[in-house]
Amino acid sequence: MPTIDSALVFQISLILVVFFALQISAAVLVYLERKIAGWAQQRVGPNRVGPLGLLQPLADIVKLIFKEELRPKAADTWLFYLAPILSATTAFAAFAVIPFGPPTTLFGLLDRPVPLQVADLNVAVLVVFAITSMGVYGIVLAGWASNSKYSLLGGLRSSAQMISYELAYGMSLASVLVIANTLSLRDIVDQQAGVWWVAGFLPVPQWYVFLAPVACFIFFVAGIAETNRAPFDFPEAEQELVAGYHTEYSSMSFALFFLAEYVNMVTASAVTVSLFLGGFYMPFLPDWLGPLWFLMKLAVLLFIYIWLRWTLPRYRYDQLMDFGWKRLLPISIVNLLVTAAGVLYWS
Amino acid sequence: MTPWLFYLFATITVLCSLAVIGQRNPMHSVLLLIGSFIALAGLYVGLDSPFVAVTQIVVYAGAIMVLFLFVVMLLNAPREDVAPGAQVPIPGGIKAFGSVLAVGMAATLLWALSKLVSTPFTQDAQAGARVASVRDIGIMIFRDHAFAFEVTSILILVAMVGAVVLAKKTV
């Protein structure tokens, strides 16, 4: 009888755990978004379904499942149904390389320590970048396959926006890679453990946000643009494009786009946490609670995402392009050069 | 790399590539091209060089995005069919030149295929480790093959200038 490799079983079940956690996080985010929107606008927000309106996401899901699935007659059938699938898959796939805890044996339950990460690749940073760039296809395809002018405009805007901001995104990423000298997310996170003692008594965590604050800012802003969130939510600008690329979608295919948007937010925040905010490490606090620290940092960033959406008005389209090409990109290139010079000087 | 994974990805690559030229709809062709590139990236992962695989997706699949936009913006018709009667007759000289080139191409391909030796699947661990490191790839490209690299970039620059000239309405 073959012996069961408990570590392997754990690693495989980790995939399922991450998958369901992402889905639940999307549901929680939808609820929080509506609640925070309520506070920002001096309303109550959802409060009827369940205590404090907590069951609202569940009611929404049931509603979406039972809605009628509509498809425009002139739409390209295959691509019309492929687009939401592509969107959702790429959103989930990127999270696979993100480490959210130190290697654990589950208090001696497993025969060898297993890292809390679905796939530990030595080029994890590039994988995130590659999958993000594939995510554009879902939106552009949806825009084209719907055969409607609003959808097409939304899709084209999205592609222009994502291509523009991907450059600044990649450049700010590169300055972290120059400092860390590795492409593995786990190594990058491990290098951010510990503290510096500034002036002998002030502890500062060794997070890259303190070494490369400009890169962190650019990465976060470009991340908002990449996930199509306000104030960069042009692909679905309601006042101009009805609902942009998903105008023609209903029922579950719309739900997949909705899910993809929130999962993308979680993934983008998780990458920011891993690259700049020390991942699952917290100074002076035990490492084995890593997933908890990771979740806390994630929650702070996600709150900022939602906060920004209900605080800032949408840019104008030419302002968006100006900001991406004439401000963010030059700043990120100069920042990369300065960082590289600094690394050469101090190493 | 396990043989069945190789055969799986190789089949997907070949089928997608064949479907690209067998399609009437340019949009579907473009998507199938992406499928073929992704399957190719799968082959690279199997060869123990994830860096090349990811670069393949970032560079090629990303570049297809632009092709995609060309299809949307420049080719309004969803089909590539030429309207009957609109076909321009091709002069005989060009046809002859084309067929000579085609024969030459076929001969080269056949010659290359005849050189093919079937090698068993082996894990050349050392070769894999040598190519897999990003640092080594960087040193190889930017130091050992710097000339070829620069020449390629000039080629791309020429193509870019050509595209701008062609796209401009009045030259």
pLDDT in tens, chain A (347 residues): 566 777 777 778 888 888 888 888 888 888 888 888 888 888 887 888 878 878 888 888 888 888 888 877 777 778 888 888 888 888 888 888 888 877 777 776 667 777 777 777 778 888 888 888 788 888 888 888 887 778 888 888 887 787 788 888 888 888 888 888 888 888 888 888 877 777 777 777 778 888 888 888 888 888 888 887 778 777 666 677 777 777 778 778 888 888 888 888 898 888 888 888 887 887 777 777 778 888 888 889 899 988 888 888 888 788 888 888 888 889 989 988 998 888 888 87
Using DSSP, state whether A104 is helix, strand or coil.
Answer: strand
Chain A residues whose CB is inside 8 A of the B132 CB are: 122
Residues A159, B65: C-beta atoms closer than 8 Å:
yes
Residue with tokens 């025969």: A111
DSSP assignments along A127-189, one per residue:
HHHHHHHHHHHHHHHHHHHTT-HHHHHHHHHHHHHHHHHHHHHHHHHHHHHHHH----HHHHH
- Model-level pTM? 0.79
Shortest CA distance to A323 belongs to which of A213, A240, A232, A261? A232
Kindly identify which residue of chain A lies nearest to residue B29, measuring between CA atoms. Answer: A79
| CB-based contact A79 B69, cutoff 8 Å | no
- CA nearest A269: which of A298, A292, A307, A296? A298
**Bond into A231 cis (ω within 30):** yes
**In Å, how far is A107's CA from the nearest CA of chain B?**
33
Q: What are phi and psi of A112, to 5 degrees?
A: -145, 155
Count of pairs with CB atoms under 8 A, one residue in A, one in B = 57
Residues of chain B contacting residue A163, judged by C-beta atoms under 8 Å apart: 65-66
**pLDDT tens digits, A192-240:** 887 777 777 777 777 888 888 888 888 888 888 888 777 877 766 667 7
Read off the pLDDT of each residue in B147-160 and give the average, rounded to a whole number.
87
Pairing status of strand A101-104 against strand A114-116: antiparallel
Contact A293, A122 (CB under 8 A): no
Contact B34 A152 (CB under 8 A): no
Q: How far apart are CA A217 and CA A332, in angstroms?
A: 10
Angstroms from B171 CA to nearest CA on chain A: 27
Q: Cα(A139)–Cα(A225) distance, rounded to whole angstroms?
A: 14
Chain A residues whose beta carbon lies within 8 Å of the beta carbon of residue B65: 133, 136-137, 140, 159, 163
Q: State whether residue A152 sits within 8 Å of chain B by CB.
A: yes
